[in-house]
Structure 1
């Protein structure tokens, strides 16, 4: 039961104050829905090592008494749900993702990626240029990518032009699928970030796969927020990352995955 102490307040004002109090409590009680596909070591489907981005976001939420729920799903689906305001945060997005799906973007980058190529050890191919890659694919080679990922404007145009020679994997664990296909010879070249591929290769399950070069520079990744999420909440995650970095907790999280700070 709610007791009204000040009886001199006008009835409409009392009702307004009561409504604001209850609304604030409802907002605080609502858990933010965070989603991503599996992309270790950024986001992993493991209880003890859920991914360094998952740990970072959970630490920030805990520090600010924000409730979270986290789910794995294909990235393409996650982006569409965020665009429709049915989820609150999508992890590890490029600026192209955020612009295309009309999301809010964290001011700070939460890690990043490179466009790295991998081949089987018996394949002498090494990346030299986009022209060289185009000629390789035209010669009936197959390039493996991941559905929904952005690799930069130049590479996006290239992939569209070479679509008949590109296989884009989907699902919750697309990189794991692509590595198996590469190992089995169903792909000739794999495109992904060295951080994710090397993390998987370190497990020893995909033997005989080697690095074959890099296209472009470091691409920063951001948190993507639903357009309806308050700007105050968005700022909390930026300031939270600064706090983790300054306190040394970010370094400890990254060390669990064999990584150092990307800054």
Structure 2
């Protein structure tokens, strides 16, 4: 007995071709609309003003990796504490510039954004940071919600009169301005970040590196939302493969030169 075949399987080759065209028409726009929301407070050269010609090298890495995969990258500048809260809750996907220790519940790719050491800066070229005791006689500014070592946070709690907290989108820029005005005598920060903002403010010859805490040297990462683990793991994998490609093709170095930086990993 002859078996009846469904008309779809008896269609000519051009029928199958039209089916593939239909899939491309309807499926690709859906993929193209896939959005990755990225947040952080302003922290150049990692990330700066959204939509500007210099959004920061971390934002440019994300755009280079995800946009060629059909994603739309939406970068928002938020105060740090709100940025962390939005990524943790799933309202945003990726946080720029976190450490594994400060956000252990987040998903992290294998690829880092480089290293960030805790250094101290002053307008007084004779002042030196030699340990926590050296902060006793000065007023130190800090950004509320940023990751600092436990000893530093303990000092803030025990001696709040010796510290001045700032918060908001441009907290670091305002902290540097307070240093220049003499309202605080010392500020902590990453060398790359302070160097960038000091140069922007024309203070590069007046702000002195006073020393670094060698035990507080950490790798920085993109931190992905714990609210949707499968999606975040997928995005982390795309990031790792994408940054490897940027590095191996030389595109990453080209991108970093724009910010006066070099790759933090030597390619063999």
Equivalent-residue separation in structure 2 for 1:216 and 1:5 (angstroms): 69
Structure 1 equivalent of residue 60 of structure 2: 55
1:161 Cα deviation after fit: 3.3
1:174 Cα deviation after fit: 1.3
Does 2:97 correspond to 1:86? no
TM-aligned CA distance change 1:204 to 1:81, over 3 Å: closer
Q: Return the TM-score normalized by structure 1.
A: 0.82
Unaligned runs of 5+ in 1: 8-21
Does 2:114 correspond to 1:116? no
SS at match of 1:96: coil
SS at match of 1:91: strand
Does 2:112 correspond to 1:104? no
Structure 1 equivalent of residue 218 of structure 2: 219
Equivalent-residue separation in structure 1 for 2:165 and 2:240 (angstroms): 32
1:168-207 correspondence runs (5 A): 168-206=165-203
Structure 2 equivalent of residue 235 of structure 1: 237
Largest Rg, 1 or 2: 2
Q: Return the TM-score normalized by structure 2.
A: 0.81
Find the partner of 1:146 among 143, 155, 158.
Answer: 143
Does 2:256 correspond to 1:254? yes
Could you give the per-residue CA deviations for residues 60-103 of structure 1, whole angstroms, max 9, x where no partner exists? Answer: 1123222111110111100011111111111111113322xx22
Does 2:73 correspond to 1:73? no
TM-aligned CA distance change 1:186 to 1:5, over 3 Å: farther
- Which of 81-90 and 38-47 deviates more? 38-47
Could you give the per-residue CA deviations for residues 21-49 of structure 1, whole angstroms, max 9, x where no partner exists? Answer: x8997565231111111111111127111
Unaligned runs of 5+ in 2: 1-6, 11-25
Structure 1 equivalent of residue 40 of structure 2: 36
- Which of 252-261 and 195-204 deviates more? 195-204
